[in-house]
């Protein structure tokens, strides 16, 4: 852990706060009256620091600072706020200057972010947003000073999206640091950062970023409206926001792409997407989303074209296997053994002859066990999780075969399926493949190849019907966009991708002004 | 135009191909060989002239009445009452075609995949899938056709592989000994395999750029012709005309003779894809019928309910089903009905339009 100075959540004029029922009363002049007015909101909280002091060198004005413990940088408070205010040159002869608040904003605390607030609602929100508020006796307005601090996790390699050749930086839980990670990679003045607050009680800061001359204004406006329309108690993490934004909540397919890697989100911004970052979650998401994105990894672009293409294609194959392999096994051995090569059929049938269950039950039992193993492995700490995996995978598998509760073929099929599941670079599609194979198993168990084909047809129809932010989810495959197939099942060299994806609504399709051969044809 | 159903030129191309290629893919080589022997493939080529003419007629008709949907078109040319009656006849024709297709499909599923599963369950499952697809609207139907077209390509590859190993080019010879009557009968049967272009009457008004309709639809017919041609030639090359007559479904039988390393037999993969190919045809026909009904009642946003109703009707209709052996007789009847309603009706409408010398352009 290290201490990172934090930037402001947002100046009030840039945020659209949901009031949460606080009164808009103006603050009284007297400090005691202010304290009484604020007492119902502040006194019950023991994490709020209140410090009384006297402002000015000669003319001492009673003042009180209020801030949240461990959210405000105490060192900055002492050196840049308290000290300058206590030593502020106010003489007795001059008396109370009417424009003192304005003078203090300009030349009081030696910090850059100083503003004023004069209503109870504004002040309460500022305090709970983590800002320092200073009240003066005899003045209605209060100083609102931004000296955010506190402890945050250090920037680290994202655990869910490791690469061998890419950057090792992942998002953390702090919104402003996350934005800065994107800014450092994308120094375009056209990159627009808009902030808002979501949740009446959590008042979670949310930022959406887009490149002004690439992103579609309709998409940006649509997203803004949808975020503004969220009027709930709280957004605890980005996942909450995602669920409020997605159009088909009952679909098994993830409809919003998220990543822990700033480099991936920068690439998304440059394709014309809008990126949304939620404070408190070490990931960001982008819209509009295509199904294809869940098969793309940042490694695909950092490695050479052929390697990137092969791994991409492998992922498509892995998805198919993850969803279909148990059901193909089931269809073949339950309904159409005549279609299995004889040399393969014989050993499998021999091994199966000792198993007392039908193939469907055998597959379902093994599938259930593997799902339990995955879940327990995910929740347990690293070393214990690995142990559980080994116990389940090797010892339990061997024991099941020895006890004739499962045939070796089923163990192999389920193991390959599980490995294929985890080839997916995105957790959203990984979860989808885990769930999708169950209906396929049941359909194949009941109707063989026919059930298998119908189940896949349902999946295709469903995927074709998904659409959000004017973008068909299954593009560029359907609707077919030939140009975008350059970066689909395989990818062409980066210099050949001189246009942005036409599947996305963007204002500017040109990625590379002039297509060059970059010296490849030089003699 | 309703955005829910709007399709682009490329999607129309795939819809036309999807509307034409179905169960006939498996049976056509045998039917044509019975009539025209080794010249079966010529019947496919010449049979394709009819859907090409059909496309040209419908396109001419549509381009003279831009912005009118099929119901408005019928009423504009035939008058309110007769137009109303004829659109109902056309919808019934589409529904009956769908019953024929789904029935043939379900029989084949029983034959090749699920011999013990009750017929009604096979039909019901297919209908659920079809209704689900159609209820999503024309846009989604267009996308499904785009996706499943690649299934057709894969299934054709599966058919070509055995022909690469076991072909005998002399099976296509002699070329010259061609009996005109046999050839004509072959062409007559191949025409029905190409039935499906008449859905263009319904879909014309849904295409976002009407100027693309002609080329897209013709390309679609071209792709269907290529598909039927590949299957017929491959089957002829492998079996020869005389042997092929013994098989009812040479399109599947051909897969039994090839042994591919590791996979051994390609039937599993072929049949898995073929289900999608045939259902695509039925989806297109039923969706066109549903869209015509929706336009008739000005309820294009109620397509899901209409699909459900028409799906239930077709499911019930499929119980009045013949046996597999009666299909050849049915095929003859349907070929005649297709020629009357699918071909002659658009021609009649075009003649009326020319006779009246009226050109509509609602969008202009």
Rounded CA separation B6/A467 (Å): 14
Query: Does the CA dihedral A64-A69-A71-A76 come out positive or negative?
Result: positive
Could you tell me if residue A123 is inside a domain?
Answer: yes
pLDDT digits (tens, 9 = 90+) for B172-187: 888 777 788 888 888 8
Higher pLDDT, B351 or A90: B351
Same domain membership, residue A137 and residue A176: no
| Structural domain that includes position A254 | 153-289
DSSP B294-336: HHHTT-GGGHHHHHHHHHHHHHHHTTS---GGGHHHHHHHHHH
When CB atoms are compared, the residue of A331, A452, A458 closest to B132 is A458
pLDDT of residue A13: 44
Mean pLDDT of A197-215: 93
Shortest distance between the Cα of B79 and any Cα of chain A, in A, equals 37
pLDDT of residue B26: 87
pLDDT of residue A16: 43
User: Could you tell me which residues come within 8 angstroms of residue B105 by beta carbon, excluding any fewer than 6 positions away?
Assistant: B22, B23, B126, B278, B279, B282
Same domain membership, residue A200 and residue A229: yes
| Cβ atoms A85, A60 nearer than 8 A | no
The number of beta carbons lying within 10 Å of the beta carbon of residue B204 is 23
**Which residue is closest to A328 within chain B, CA to CA?**
B268
Same domain membership, residue A447 and residue A361: yes
Region of residue A56 (phi > 0: left; psi between -120 and 50: alpha; otherwise: beta): left
pLDDT of residue A10: 46
Same domain membership, residue A129 and residue A23: yes
Torsion angle of alpha carbons B213, B219, B220, B221, nearest 10°? Answer: 110
| Cβ atoms B145, B280 nearer than 8 A | yes
pLDDT digits (tens, 9 = 90+) for B318-330: 777 655 556 666 6
Q: Do B262 and A341 touch (CB under 8 A)?
A: yes
Same domain membership, residue A170 and residue A79: no
pLDDT digits (tens, 9 = 90+) for A475-491: 999 899 999 999 999 99
List of chain B residues whose C-beta atoms are within 8 Å of the C-beta of residue A453: 271-273, 275-276
pLDDT digits (tens, 9 = 90+) for A34-70: 999 999 888 888 888 999 999 988 888 999 999 998 8
Same domain membership, residue A264 and residue A353: no
Could you tell me if residue A449 is inside a domain?
Answer: yes
| Cβ atoms B79, B309 nearer than 8 A | no
Could you tell me if residue A486 is inside a domain?
Answer: no
Confidence class for position A383, pLDDT limits 50, 70, 90: confident
Mean pLDDT of A144-151: 84
Closest to B190 (Cα-Cα) out of B217, B227, B216: B227
When CB atoms are compared, the residue of B109, B146, B265 closest to A478 is B146
Residue B363 has pLDDT above 90, yes or no: no
pLDDT of residue A344: 83
Query: What six digits make up the tokens of B119?
Result: 């017929």
The number of beta carbons lying within 10 Å of the beta carbon of residue A75 is 12
B-proximal residues of A, 333-352, CB under 8 Å:
335-336, 339-342
pLDDT of residue B331: 66
Q: Do A450 and B275 touch (CB under 8 A)?
A: yes
B-proximal residues of A, 361-400, CB under 8 Å:
none
* Boundary of a domain, candidates A416, A449, A465: A465
Calculate helix-pair angle for A427-465, A359-379, nearest 10 degrees: 130
Confidence class for position A161, pLDDT limits 50, 70, 90: confident
Q: Do A336 and B8 touch (CB under 8 A)?
A: no
The 8-class DSSP code of residue A81 comes to I
Shortest distance between the Cα of B91 and any Cα of chain A, in A, equals 24
When CB atoms are compared, the residue of A339, A460, A465 closest to B268 is A339
Mean pLDDT of A5-33: 64
Name which of A262-266, A278-282, A343-347, B202-206 the model is least confident about. A343-347
Residue B148 has pLDDT above 90, yes or no: yes
Same domain membership, residue A401 and residue A442: yes
Q: Specify the pairing of strand B360-361 against strand B65-66.
A: parallel
Could you tell me if residue A115 is inside a domain?
Answer: yes
Could you tell me if residue A234 is inside a domain?
Answer: yes
Write down all domains in chain B, each with its CATH number in brackets.
Answer: 3-353 (1.20.1740.10)
Mean pLDDT over all residues of chain B? 88
pLDDT of residue B328: 63
Higher pLDDT, A366 or A455: A455
Same domain membership, residue A285 and residue A213: yes
Residue A100 has pLDDT above 60, yes or no: yes
| Cβ atoms A447, B116 nearer than 8 A | no
The number of beta carbons lying within 10 Å of the beta carbon of residue B14 is 28
Beta bridge partners of B292: none
Q: Do A478 and B122 touch (CB under 8 A)?
A: no
Q: Give the three-class secondary structure for A469.
A: coil
* % chain A with pLDDT above 90: 55
DSSP B228-267: HHHHHHHHHHHH-HHHHTT-S-HHHHHHHS--BTTTB--H
| Cβ atoms A90, A59 nearer than 8 A | yes
Same domain membership, residue A343 and residue A264: no
Confidence class for position A404, pLDDT limits 50, 70, 90: confident
Shortest distance between the Cα of B27 and any Cα of chain A, in A, equals 19
Vertex B18 angle, CA B61 and B96, to 5°: 75
The number of beta carbons lying within 10 Å of the beta carbon of residue A55 is 24
pLDDT of residue B63: 93
B223 touches chain A (CB under 8 A): no
User: Which of A99-113, A206-220, A418-432 is modeled with the greatest confidence?
Assistant: A206-220
Q: Do A339 and B122 touch (CB under 8 A)?
A: no
Same domain membership, residue A43 and residue A119: yes
* Boundary of a domain, candidates A246, A272, A289: A289
Residue A253 has pLDDT above 90, yes or no: yes
| Cβ atoms A222, A210 nearer than 8 A | no
Beta bridge partners of A63: A53, A136
Q: How many domains does chain A have?
A: 3
- Chain-centre distance of CA A266, in angstroms? 14
Q: Do B276 and A480 touch (CB under 8 A)?
A: no
Name which of A206-215, A389-398, A504-513, B86-95 the model is least confident about. A389-398
Name which of A135-144, A329-338, B142-151, B171-180 the model is least confident about. B171-180
Same domain membership, residue A428 and residue A361: yes
List of chain A residues whose C-beta atoms are within 8 Å of the C-beta of residue B132: 458, 461
Q: Whole-model pTM?
A: 0.88
Mean pLDDT of A132-160: 88
B252 touches chain A (CB under 8 A): no
Shortest distance between the Cα of B358 and any Cα of chain A, in A, equals 36
Confidence class for position B87, pLDDT limits 50, 70, 90: very high
* Boundary of a domain, candidates A115, A145, A175: A145
pLDDT of residue A5: 45
pLDDT digits (tens, 9 = 90+) for A231-241: 999 999 999 99
Could you tell me if residue A501 is inside a domain?
Answer: no
Locus of tokens 């890419």: A166
Could you tell me if residue A517 is inside a domain?
Answer: no
Mean pLDDT of B107-112: 87
B122 touches chain A (CB under 8 A): yes
B10 touches chain A (CB under 8 A): yes
Residue B2 has pLDDT above 70, yes or no: no
pLDDT of residue A361: 92
Mean pLDDT of A194-200: 93
Query: What six digits make up the tokens of A368?
Result: 């259930």
pLDDT digits (tens, 9 = 90+) for A309-344: 999 999 999 999 999 999 999 999 888 888 888 888
Rounded CA separation B337/A462 (Å): 35
| Cβ atoms B227, B152 nearer than 8 A | yes
* % chain A with pLDDT above 70: 94
| Cβ atoms A55, A63 nearer than 8 A | yes
* Among B143, B151, B212, B223, the residue to mutate for chain A (most A Cβ within 10 A): B143
pLDDT of residue A447: 94
When CB atoms are compared, the residue of A339, A458, A479 closest to B146 is A479
Could you tell me if residue A403 is inside a domain?
Answer: yes
Same domain membership, residue A340 and residue A378: yes
A-proximal residues of B, 62-121, CB under 8 Å:
109, 113-114, 117
Size of interface A-B (CB pairs under 8 A): 89
Vertex A444 angle, CA A438 and A446, to 5°: 105
B32-41 b/e with 16+ CB inside 10 Å = b? Answer: bbbbbbbbbb
The 8-class DSSP code of residue A252 comes to S
């Amino acid at each position: 852990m290290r201490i990172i100075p934090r930037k402001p959540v947002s100046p009030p004029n840039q945020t659209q706060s949901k009031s949460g029922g606080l009164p808009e009363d103006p603050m009284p002049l007297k400090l005691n009256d202010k304290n009484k007015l604020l007492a119902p909101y502040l006194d019950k909280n023991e994490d709020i620091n209140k410090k009384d002091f006297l402002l000015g060198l000669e003319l001492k004005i009673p003042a009180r600072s209020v801030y949240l413990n461990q959210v405000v940088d105490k060192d900055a408070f002492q050196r840049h706020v308290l000290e300058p205010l206590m030593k502020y040159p106010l003489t007795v002869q001059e008396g109370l200057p009417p424009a003192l608040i304005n003078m203090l904003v300009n030349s009081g605390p030696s910090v850059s972010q100083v503003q004023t607030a004069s209503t109870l609602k504004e002040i309460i929100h500022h305090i709970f947003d983590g800002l320092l508020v200073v009240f003066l006796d005899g003045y209605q307005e209060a100083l609102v000073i931004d000296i955010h601090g506190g402890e945050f996790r250090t920037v680290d390699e994202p655990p869910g999206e490791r690469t061998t050749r890419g950057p090792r930086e992942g998002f953390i839980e702090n919104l402003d640091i996350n934005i800065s990670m994107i800014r450092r990679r994308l120094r375009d003045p056209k990159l627009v950062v808009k902030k808002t607050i979501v949740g009446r009680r959590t008042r979670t800061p949310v930022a959406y970023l887009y490149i002004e001359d690439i992103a579609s204004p309709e998409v940006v406006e649509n997203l803004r409206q949808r975020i503004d329309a969220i009027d709930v108690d709280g957004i605890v993490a980005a996942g909450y926001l995602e669920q409020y934004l997605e159009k088909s909540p009952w679909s098994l397919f993830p409809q919003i792409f998220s990543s822990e890697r700033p480099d991936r989100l920068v690439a998304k911004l440059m394709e014309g997407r809008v990126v949304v970052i939620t404070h408190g979650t070490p990931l960001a998401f982008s819209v509009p989303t295509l199904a294809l994105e869940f098969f793309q990894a940042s490694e695909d672009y950092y490695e050479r074209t052929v390697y990137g293409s092969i791994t991409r294609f492998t992922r498509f194959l892995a998805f198919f296997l993850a969803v279909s392999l148990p059901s193909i096994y089931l269809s073949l051995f339950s309904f159409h053994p005549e279609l299995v090569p004889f040399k393969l059929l014989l050993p499998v049938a021999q091994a199966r002859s000792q198993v007392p269950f039908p193939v469907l039950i055998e597959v379902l039992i093994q599938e259930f066990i593997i799902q339990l193993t995955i879940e327990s492995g995910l929740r347990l700490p690293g070393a214990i999780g690995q142990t559980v995996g080994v116990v389940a995978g090797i010892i339990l598998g061997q024991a099941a075969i020895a006890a004739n509760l499962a045939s070796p073929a089923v163990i192999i099929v389920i193991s390959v399926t599980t490995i294929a599941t985890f080839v997916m670079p995105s957790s959203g599609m990984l979860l989808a493949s885990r769930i999708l194979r169950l209906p396929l198993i049941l359909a194949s168990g009941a109707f063989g190849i026919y059930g298998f084909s119908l189940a896949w047809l349902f999946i295709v129809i469903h995927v074709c019907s998904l659409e959000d932010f004017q973008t068909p989810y299954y593009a560029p495959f359907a609707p077919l966009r030939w140009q975008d197939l350059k970066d689909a099942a395989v990818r062409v060299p980066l210099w050949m991708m001189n246009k942005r994806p036409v599947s996305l609504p963007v204002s500017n399709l040109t990625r590379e002004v002039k297509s060059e051969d970059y010296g490849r044809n030089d003699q | 135009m309703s955005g829910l159903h709007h399709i682009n030129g490329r999607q129309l191309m795939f819809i036309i191909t999807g509307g034409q290629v179905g169960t006939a893919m498996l049976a056509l080589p045998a039917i044509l060989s019975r009539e025209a022997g080794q010249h079966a493939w010529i019947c496919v080529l010449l049979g394709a002239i009819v859907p090409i003419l059909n496309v040209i007629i419908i396109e001419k008709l549509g381009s003279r009445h831009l912005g009118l949907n099929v119901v408005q078109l019928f009423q504009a040319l035939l008058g309110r009452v007769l137009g109303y009656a004829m659109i109902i006849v056309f919808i019934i024709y589409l529904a009956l075609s769908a019953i024929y297709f789904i029935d043939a499909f379900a029989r084949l599923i029983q034959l090749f995949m699920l011999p013990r599963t009750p017929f009604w369950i096979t039909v019901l499952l297919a209908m659920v899938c079809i209704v689900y697809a159609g209820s999503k609207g024309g846009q989604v139907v267009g996308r499904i056709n785009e996706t499943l077209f690649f299934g057709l390509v894969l299934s054709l590859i599966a058919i070509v592989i055995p022909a690469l190993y076991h072909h005998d080019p002399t099976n296509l010879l002699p070329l010259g000994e061609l009996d005109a009557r046999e050839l004509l009968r072959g062409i007559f049967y191949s025409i029905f395999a190409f039935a499906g272009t008449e859905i263009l009457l319904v879909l014309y008004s849904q295409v976002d750029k009407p100027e693309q309709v002609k080329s897209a639809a013709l390309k679609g017919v071209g792709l269907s012709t290529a598909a039927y041609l590949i299957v017929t030639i491959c089957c002829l090359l492998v079996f020869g005309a005389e042997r092929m007559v013994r098989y009812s479904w040479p399109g599947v039988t051909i897969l039994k003779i090839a042994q591919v390393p590791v996979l051994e037999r390609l039937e599993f993969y072929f049949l898995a894809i073929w289900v999608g190919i045939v259902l695509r045809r039925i989806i297109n026909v039923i969706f066109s019928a549903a869209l015509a009904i929706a336009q008739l009642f000005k309820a294009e946003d109620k397509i899901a309910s209409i699909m459900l109703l028409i799906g239930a009707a077709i499911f019930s209709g499929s119980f009045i089903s013949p046996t597999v052996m009666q299909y050849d007789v049915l095929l003859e009847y349907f070929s005649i009905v297709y020629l009357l309603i699918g071909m002659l009706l658009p021609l009649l409408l075009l003649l009326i339009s020319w006779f009246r010398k009226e050109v509509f352009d609602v969008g202009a």
